[in-house]
Structure 1
């Protein structure tokens, strides 16, 4: 099986990603996860970058089957 991958960022409680057409999209974390799940995206991992002990940025990586 082959996969499509998508990267989103979590900032201030909002999930931000680029839609397939390339436009930026932002939604509350819960709303964004619900929407992406309805589009068959599955969360693979979350990477957190910290600076001086504070969370600077969280990157979420999603996948779904191609096709």
Structure 2
């Protein structure tokens, strides 16, 4: 990424467009002990996913614009 930080509006819009499913532990079929994930860790990962989602949307838009200008 280019190092820019998304504004709250962009994050809110991205979050509305893309929501991660949150599974309860009993919905996951595993005999292993569930890893301990803090809310801060989850929020940090969710923010990274939203930033990647926004970056891909930007790249998709640039690709479409380039494709249309080549036509």
TM-score (norm 2): 0.26
Structure number, greater radius of gyration: 2
The structure whose residues are more often strand, as a share, is: 1
TM-score (norm 1): 0.26
